[in-house]
Amino acid sequence: MARSDRLLVLTQALRRRRHPVTAMVLAEETSVSERTIYRDIASLQASGVPIRGVSCASAGTGRSDA
């Protein structure tokens, strides 16, 4: 999957969830590594997509509608 396609899929995956999701779940859905998910999320945040997240074992990532 091309990076641009993956970024779109990742954005859509975050939008359809009401609760935070782990990088592991997103990585499985997109067939990439967790590290790639973290890089993709950083790219999306840099481009202005409102994503908030915490880096810890019990937390996840989600869109910030605030």
**CATH code, domain with 53:** 1.10.10.10
Q: What is the pLDDT of residue 53?
A: 77
β-pairing, 51-53 vs 61-63, is: antiparallel
Q: What is the pLDDT of residue 45?
A: 94
Q: What is the pLDDT of residue 19?
A: 87
Specify the number of domains making up the chain.
1
Taking the C-alpha atoms of 38, 39, 40 and 44 in order, what is their torsion angle to the nearest 10 degrees?
100
Instruction: Calculate mean pLDDT across residues 42-59.
Output: 80
